Amino acid sequence: MPSIGSIQLPDFPLLLAPMEDVSDPPFRYVCKQYGADLMYTEFISSEGLIRDAIKSRKKLDIFEYERPIGIQIFGGDEEAMAMSAKIVDVTNPDLVDINFGCPVKKVVCKGAGAGVLKDVDLMIRLTKAVIRSTSKPVTVKTRLGWDESMINIMEVAERLQDVGVAALTIHGRTRAQMYKGTANWNYIAEVKNNPRIKIPVFGNGDVDSPERALEYKNKYGVDGIMIGRAAIGYPWIFNEIKHYFATGTHLPKPDMANRVDVCKTHLQKSVEWKGEVLGILEMRNHYANYFKGIPNFKDTRIKLVTLNKLSELVEVLDACKEQSFELPV
């Protein structure tokens, strides 16, 4: 069983990826209900935390039922990362995670996220600054390298372990790939099979079904799998994978009533956490995923993304249970 510091994880944990504008407490709530073993906050800017930016501070909200949970920070300045780690420490997460993998331009341009893959010495200095400033285990999420000509994940993994990182999650793409192409798990397996590496290694990228999860578990020997995009609007994926691992059979797909109930829970948690206006507005990004692949759903979806009152939205959702929509297989 893998452990991160004193955090004991299940035999083969399934992790929910930290995703910007997705992995907030309402989304994490439904993923936890359906089997996510370890979750992370959205990534939080170290500079934003120090400036007391309201959006950054709000992302520090964690709840007891979410544990174990990690707060993920990013930045390119040692002092800012150290100070933000101290701020995070006060909120008492189970671990602190550093994002060295985000490929988006506005992050990379600040010498943070995947931008640090071009300067491993800086990556190590930033990591040491965080480790020195928190009492919590520190983990890292990163990518294979900057581009195909600069795949340096083995050096990165060894050096991160040497300075005290407690676990490593590797997304099987380079920064240049962004989210395109196919994730290359062979490099992740090389890190896991390196006799020098003793810390847990989790793989991330392209796991979107129980079959693929089992194939990657067996083929690449990782300690667990992190799931990102496949869980958006489909939190059932965690329990589906666990059931398939245990029995070799598939759980029934969620029916319309189940989809509606989980979507409603997500919506209600969103309103509780963000207030009615913002909670309803930000929930609009999720409806298409909850009801993906359902023919003749367009008119309902238009209502869901235009109505502004919680009671009206709940009414529209409840009405879906009475209609005979054809569900994807």
Residue at token pair 């949970």: 69
**Neighbouring residues of 7: CB distance < 8 A, sequence distance ≥ 6:** 38, 68, 94, 95, 137
CA 212, 15, 142, 7 torsion-angle sign:
negative
CA angle, 13 as apex, 221 and 215 as ends, to 5°?
A: 40
> Strand, helix or coil at 203?
strand
Alpha carbon distances (Å) from 161 to 88, 155, 318: 22, 10, 50
- Asked whether 56 and 83 are in contact (CB, 8 A), the reply is no
Residue at token pair 């520190």: 138
Question: What end-to-end distance do the CA atoms of the chain give, in Å?
Answer: 34
d(CA 30, CA 33): 5
d(CA 251, CA 247): 10
> Strand, helix or coil at 224?
strand
d(CA 97, CA 7): 14
Residue at token pair 């083969």: 12
d(CA 325, CA 46): 46
Packing angle, helices 276-283 and 256-274, rounded to 10? 140
Which residues are catalytically annotated?
A: 102
